[in-house]
Each structure stands twice: as C-alpha cells, then as structure tokens.
Structure 1
Amino acid sequence: MRVLFVCHRMPYPPTDGARVRAYHIIRHLARSHQVVVAAPTRSPAEREAVEGLRQLGCDVLSGPIGRTAAIARMARNLATPEPSSMGYFYSPALAAGIRREASARPFDLIFAYCSSVAPYVAELRGCPRVMDFVDMDSQKWLMVAGARRWPLSFGYRLEGRKLERAEAEIAASFDLCLCITPAELATLRGYGLPAATATGWFPNGVDLAYFAPSEAPYDPDAIGFVGRMDYFPNQQAVLAFCDRVLPRIQAVRPAASFTIIGAEPSRDIRALATRPGVQVTGTVADVRPLLSRCAVSVAPLSIARGVQNKILESMALGVPVVASPATAGGIEAVPGRHLAVAGDSAGMVEACLNLMRHPEERARLARAGRALVERTYHWDVAMRRLDSHLAPVLAMARTGRQDIPV
C-alpha cells in the first residue's frame, strides 16, 4: 500500500524522543508498504537528513520553515481558535507538495504523527486516516502554565485550552487515534469521541543492541541527566536539582559530579557549568559513553507526560534511575524493583546516595531495569501492538478507495 506519513519534525536522525518514535514507525511500515514521508525542515542539517529516510526505501517530501515566518504564524493564531503550535509547524511549501503528491497518485493510508500536523491532511479524504497523538499536548501546556508566571502562564493556558478543543475535533475526523500510554488514552477518550473512531495505545521502545550495558567501570560519584535543554520541563528539573539536591549530595560526597547531556542548552543551563562538579555538554553525537559512566541517571521532572525515553535508555544501558513520580508514571515499572522514585528533594538526595554508596544495590536495580526494558520496551513488542491497532484500518484500505480531493 501507498502510505503518507506526516511528521512535525524531520524524523532522522532518531536522536530525541519525538524523532525516535516516528523513525521506528516509518521503518516498520516501510518493510511492507510504500511510504512517503512528509516533514518540514528548519536547517541545512535537517534538509540533508532526508537521505537517511531514503535509505529505508521511503520517498520524502519536505518544505522549509523559517524562524521569522513561524513566529509570525504563531502570533497570528493568538487571535484565532487555531493553536499557535500548528502555526509553528506549518510549512506552506510542504502543504503544497503534499497536495500535488496526493493529486498525482492517491494514498491508500494517511498516518499523521502528532496533532500539530493535522492541518496538512485536513483536506485529504477518501482513504483511512490514523492519528498518533503520542502525548496529549494540551495537558502538557496546561501543566506548564501552572509553573510559569504571568504573562507566560496566560499564554500556555490559552494554548492548552485551544489544543483541547483541537484534539477533540481532530480525533473525531480520524478513523484511528493512538497514544503512547493508557493515561494519555484516558485523556483522549474523555473527549467523548464518535463511536466510529477507534482508539488505542502503544509504547515507545528502545534499540537494545545500541543501548547495551557497557563493560567499562563506572564512576561512583557521577550523576547524569539526558534531555533536550531547550524544553522547559527539563530546564526546570535540572535547575532545581542543582539548587536543592546536588549541594546536599556533595556535602556527603565532595567529588560528586552532575553531567547535563542534551542539545540546545539555554543561557541559564549553560551558566550551571560554573558550579562545582557540573558539566553541560550541549549536543553530543552519542550519549552512551557519558551516561554509561554514571552511577545514577536522574529524571526529576515535575512536569511530564507520556513515556520518558531518558528512563528507558538509561535502564537499557544498565544505569539505575532515580525518578520523580511524574516521570516514572509513564513507565510500567515498580518503584524499588526496577527504579527508585523520590517525591521531593530530600528523597532524591537519599536515593542517589544509596546507589552511589552501595554497588550491590546499584547492580540489582541495573539488572532489573534492563530486564524490564527487554521484556516490555523492545521495539518489536511496540510494533506488534501497533500492528494490532492498524489491522482493521488496513483492511478498510484494501476494500477500496475514493480519489482524495485536494
């Protein structure tokens, strides 16, 4: 079948959470179908990345998004019912390319990845349509609104409310809507969707061969954090950790260090590198060497939705995780068995020190975490679950198709 896969970011290379999930879905679909990937680009590197998708056998449509134009579209949407995030991810050139492609040769299936790409396929009808919301973004922005001061709090709350309405409308117009966890699915179903709209969830996965435990010794004084550092929940978590947790750990273990591994660190995050024991790496080609040397990987976010890849990848590497309840909630893990969970700064200090002091406890959590990922979060497991949801939709596609109006 001929499948259109529309993504809000160029899904190659698969170096962060959004790209990782999209890439593995595309790779899986490309094994059985002719896949046309459509995604905007924001840099020369992203434009060059299309070759990685072509190596999977995919055709690729792309269109540029300039920063000034994106900001202008976001600002314009402030006065309309349309969420600003949809303006941010919209490329007129890409939209035109999708219309031309659909007109020249209709698609058998449309797969939209994240709500922000819904405008690209709003007019494409006549074949089954799948929306993978991943996280319900509306709820994330409403949570961020509660953590920001006015006027940012007002802006995030407005965006969250707009997205709630948009998500309900989008879901009602698709044949199948998917999410990343049962909790996200519960939010989606709470919108009161039409009976004809099927829903389901499937998890993220981990490349277990790539994220394999290292045989090199670890540093018992090293703590690590992985995540994009232009993302507010990550910034908030790291700043709080450096203010409230790390100094108390260093009071007991003066050699304790904290490595912040992630692209695009803000000015406030870069400034943390002036503190004793703190390293801010910025973009790295490979997180594995830096993370594998750590005694502990921390995920202390107070705002978290869906599945945190930082937890899965740390577990796969055999690095035990200390997480906040919000971060751990998206993982099918038992606190104390597969990872440590700490609800406040004092608990985070205690949990980190426990693993830094006791190599046998660290080894136990490392083994249990790796076993959980092998059992539950292998990409083959995730794709089998996706297949079970797609089977009825693909059967619809095989029964026939109308021409897609453009």
Structure 2
Amino acid sequence: MKLLVISARFPLPLEKGDKLRLYHQLKYLARDHEVFLISLADEEIEEKWQRDIESFCQKTYIFSQSYAQHVFNALRGLCLGMPVNVGYFYQPSIKRRIHQLVGEIDPTAIYVQLIRMVPYVKDLQVPFMGIDYMDSFSLRIQRRVELGGLTSLFWRLEKAMLTRFELSCAKYFDSKFIISDVDKQHLESQGIDGLTLLRNGVDIEYYRVDQDRKAQKEYDILLVGNMSYHPNILAAKYLVEQIAVPLRRKLPNLKLLIAGASPSPQVTRLQNDWIHVTGYMPDIRDAYANARIFVAPIFAGSGLQNKILEAMAMGLPCVTSSLVNDSICAPAEAVREANDPAAFIDAVWSLLQHGDLDKYGNVGRAFVKEHFGWEGCSVPLKNLGAYHSNKSS
C-alpha cells in the first residue's frame, strides 16, 4: 500500500532519539509498503542524507523552518490554545502544502510521528491513520516541573496544555503507538486507550566492539547524548559535580568523556584537563569503545534511553537511575541503579575497582540482543495497514 509518513524532523543525521527511531521504522515499513516521507527541518538537509532515505523510500518532501519562524509559530500557537511543544512546529502555509501533497500521493494510510504533527493531519480524510506518540510529552514536562526553579510556573501551564492535547489527539487515529510501559501507563491514566507498545531497538551488528576498537581505553566514565537536551545537560552537570569530582579524591587519575551533538555552554564549561567534551562525533561508537563504564544520572525526561541500549550493545557496564531502567528492565549485572550521589559513587567505585567489566558487559550485550533488536521491536508496525478502528465516536 501507499504509506505517507509525516514527521517533525528529518531522520538524518542520527543525533536525536526521535530521528533514530524514525530512521529504523522507515526502513522496516519500506519492506512491505511504498513509503513517502514528509518532514519538517530546522537545519540544512544534505543531499547525501536525502539520497540515503530515498534508497528505501519512494520520495521525500522537506519543509524548512528557521528558528525565528519557530518562535513566531510558538507564540501564534499559544493564541490558538496549542502547547508550546506543538505550536513551535505548526505553520499554516506548510499545512496547506501537505494537504496538496496528500491529494497528489493519495495514500492508503498516514503514519504520524509525535503529537507535534497532529495539527497538520487532523482534518484529513484517509482510510487509515496511525500515530507514534513515542513518549508522553506531559510526563516529560511533569518531571521538569518537579525539578522546580524559576520557570516551574510556565512548565506547569505547559504540562496542563499537553495533557489535554495528548488526549484530544487520540480520536483522530486508528492505531496509537508508545515507546515504554511507563509512558503507556501514564497516557492510559489520562484516558487514552488502545495504545500499542512499540519499543526502540538497537542495531546489534553496528554497535559492537570490533578488533580495531579494542585499544587501551582512555576514559573511565562515559556519558553520551544530545547535549542541548535539558535532561542530558542536567545529567552532565550532576555527573561531574556530584559523582566525578568526589570520586577523583579517591581516584586521582579518573578521566571522564562527555560525547554528543550540540553541547550547551553549561556542558562545554565542564571541560578541563580530565574531562573531555567532544561535541558531535561522526561515529559515536568511538566514544563507547574508549571508555570503561557508562554512567547516566538522568532524573528528567520520558521514553526509553537509546544511549543505555547502545552502551550495553557495546559491552559497557552501566550505572543509571531507576527512572531510566524502569523502561528497560535490564538485569543488575548489566545496569546498576542509583538514585542519589552516594549510590552513584558506590556503584561506580565498585565497578572501576572490583568489577569484572567484561563479564558485566557481556551480560548487557546478551540482554539487548535478546530483547531490543530493531527487527523484533518493530513487529507491531506489521499491523499498521490493517484497519482496526479505535476512533472515538
């Protein structure tokens, strides 16, 4: 069938979780369907990226939006009653063009990634509509509210608007997907039913330590992520200030690597003679291969953390919060849970000084290979084209 996928971001480069998820879903869907992709973009899309996607999709259509346009969109969206997380991406002129393309493509089904794109499609009449909520935006913002701070009032208002918007979206779609049990339970508590679990996966063959990467590891601790994303910024600061600095009193040669695209000034300021902040890396496997353990003190956000799956696939023992592991349910040998500085320090100290890192790493790799391969995680998408209406009357 003809399947039109509509997303808020172009899937390449793979430096954000939603783009990674979309990329692998497109490849899976293109096996059985004629897939067309409409994407918004806030960066210049290189021709090689477009060629990559069109090697398995029929055609891609890209609509660029500048930062100034995004800000204007958000302000206009607020006037229309949209949450900032949604209005930021909504532009009426693009909606008109998308509707024209829908008429030209004449798809049997439309698959939308994220609630951000719902204003573009809610008025369309097609035989089948599916949405990937991915994670719950209202849950993510609720956790940001819990952190407090000067902006907490704004985030409380945004959370209330997102809760209403997530619920209102459900009636437009025949199939609804969600990334984790935690997010699923949250949306169900808000009155959204008919959700299908659609986990993220990891490319087991890509994320592996080959002979060329088995050199002496330069860093003891690694954190990976998009370093402009607020929960990752908080995690980087927490890792340095609450964990690594105290640990270095016991381990004076401790070295820390913080890797990932677009580091904010708060992150780049953490760099010193024993902390290296890389910025974007063409091959993030080089970061995983150059560290002994992976530590992610994440206490905000929602969804499922790809960085943990990638670290385990690369054979790294992990230490993270129960918030993160609740969505993965990895065994304690592979992922140690910690929820305060003392627990993180104890876990990291124990691993670095007394842990059988190869043994724990092998347990983690075996776990993700069994439970989080993209092939198995994408199976729920097989039913995307089968009409089973969950629409509200």
Give the TM-score normalised by the residue count of structure 2.
0.93
Matched, 1:272 2:267: no
Moved more, 304-313 or 37-46: 37-46
Which of residues 321, 331, 345 is equivalent to 2:341?
345
Cross-structure match for 2:194: 198
Give how far 1:125 is off. Answer: 1.6
Instruction: Quote the Cα distance in structure 2 between the aligned partners of 1:349 and 1:239.
Output: 15
1:376 matches 2:346: no
| Separation in 1, partners of 2:91, 2:38 | 11
Match of 2:203 in 1: 207
TM-fit CA distance, 1:69: 1.3
Q: Give the length in aligned residue pairs.
A: 387
Stretches of structure 2 that go unaligned for 5 or more consecutive residues are none
What is the match of residue 226 of structure 2? 228
Deviation larger for 89-98 or 126-135: 89-98
Shift of 1:294: 0.8
Separation in 1, partners of 2:259, 2:218: 18
2:360 pairs with 1:365: yes
1:316–1:373 contact (8 Å) kept in structure 2: yes
Q: Are positions 1:84 and 2:80 aligned together? A: no
How much does 1:171 deviate?
1.0
Runs of 4+ in 1 over 6 A off after TM superposition: none
- Equivalent position SS for 2:201: coil
Aligned residue identity for 2:184: L
CA shift, 1:271, in A, is 0.7
Q: Which moved more, 1:216-225 or 1:67-76?
A: 216-225
Q: Deviations over 1:171-202 (max 9, x none)?
A: 12211111011121112222324xxx632112
In structure 2, the partner of 1:395 is 386
Tell me which residue corresponds to 1:175: 174
Q: Answer yes or no: is the 8 Å Cα contact 1:61–1:94 preserved in 2.
A: no
Residue in structure 1 matched with residue 106 of structure 2 by the alignment: 106
1:5 is paired with a residue of what secondary structure? strand
1:220 to 1:101, Cα distance in 2 relative to 1, 3 A: closer
Mapping for residues 230-379 of structure 1, pairs under 5 Å:
230-274=228-272, 276-334=273-331, 336-358=332-354, 361-379=356-374
Report the TM-score, using the length of structure 1 for normalisation: 0.91
Q: In 1, Cα distance between the equivalents of 2:96 and 2:137?
A: 26
1:16 positional shift? 2.5
Q: CA deviation at 1:46?
A: 5.5
| Worse-superposed segment, 72-81 or 119-128 | 72-81
What 5-or-longer segments of structure 1 have no aligned partner?
Answer: 400-406
